[in-house]
Amino acid sequence: MALVTRPVKRALRSRFGWLPLYELRNKLLFGHTALPVWRFESAEVRRLAAMLPGPRETLVTTVIPTYRRPRELGEAVRSALAQTVRDHTVIVVDDGAGLPDDLPADERLIAVSLSRNTGVLGVVRNVGIRLARSEFVAFLDDDNTWEPDHLETALRALRASESGARRLDAVYTAMRRVYPDGRERDVLSVPYDRARARNHAFLDANPFVARRSRSLRFSRMRRDRGVLPREDWASLYRYGRRHRIEHVPHPTVRYLVNVDTYYTVWDDDAVGQS
């Protein structure tokens, strides 16, 4: 038995040893849920790609997942279309609830609906990534907005690194976190440190801009209510294992703090926990 156990332990350490125990527990308990949603994701990408016109290649694509937030979605889309970077496509992916009729009329906007609700944010984002035809990909949730210089700020840092020895794969800017009544909670600006990210959830998709690649994907594992950490942390922490990430300490994201959400525990920690 020991001869079997030791190799198995070594294999687990090699494959998952970089994961904190709480995320390893999630994989053991819920990892089986990823396969069926991956199949659904791939089928939806094929279906939607066949419905859309030929790919429009641009410098950057913004992926906006949405579900039953028509008013907030309109604000998010308008802030994405208002970016100073014009070589830009915005892809809205609705998680099966249906799209509102009043989205902005702009040739840079593509809006699609999944054929059914998945309840898996990672799958919704992954569909957008896989439909994108651009060098870079950015992410914006349907209840948040960007300052007009968000993409310009992130892309400047990514481009500047191309002439140096340490080419960056992704950057994230600072986030101005606000309450629904408009009061500012704080500015979240934490330099990238993967060791710190292991226990503090300062990695979020909304300020994140990355080079598009096959390794850029979000967790497909179902994370229902009470399953922490959420998709953003799990996916970006994994991505940082083999990719170079840097923080740009300039606030370009207006992030809505929803005190009733189960995604984040809003305590006195300036970093917060997801």
Segment 45-70, tens digit of pLDDT: 999 999 998 767 999 999 999 999 99
Below-50 pLDDT ranges, the chain: 1-4, 8-9, 12-13, 262-274
pLDDT of residue 269: 43
Spell out where 96-203 has E strands.
Answer: 109-113, 134-139, 145-146, 170-178, 184-188
CA distances from 202 to 46, 103, 172, 187, 237 (A): 34, 31, 10, 11, 10
In the 8-state DSSP scheme, what is residue 55? P
pLDDT of residue 260: 53
The answer as to whether 8 is a domain residue is no
The answer as to whether 4 is a domain residue is no
Which CATH number belongs to the domain containing residue 58 in this structure?
3.90.550.10
- 68 SS3 class: coil
The answer as to whether 13 is a domain residue is no
Q: How buried is 164 (Cβ within 10 angstroms: 0-12 exposed, 13-18 middle, 19+ buried)?
A: exposed
The answer as to whether 43 is a domain residue is yes
What are the tens digits of pLDDT across the range 168-198? 999 999 999 999 999 999 999 999 999 998 8
Looking at the structure of the chain, the number of domains it has is 1
The answer as to whether 156 is a domain residue is yes
Strand partners of residue 212: none
Q: Locate 238 and state its tokens.
A: 């994994």
- CA neighbor of 147 nearest in space, from 231, 236, 254: 254
Q: 149 is in which domain, residue-wise?
A: 21-256
Q: Locate 224 and state its tokens.
A: 């229902």
pLDDT of residue 66: 97
The answer as to whether 122 is a domain residue is yes
Cα R_g (the chain), whole angstroms = 19
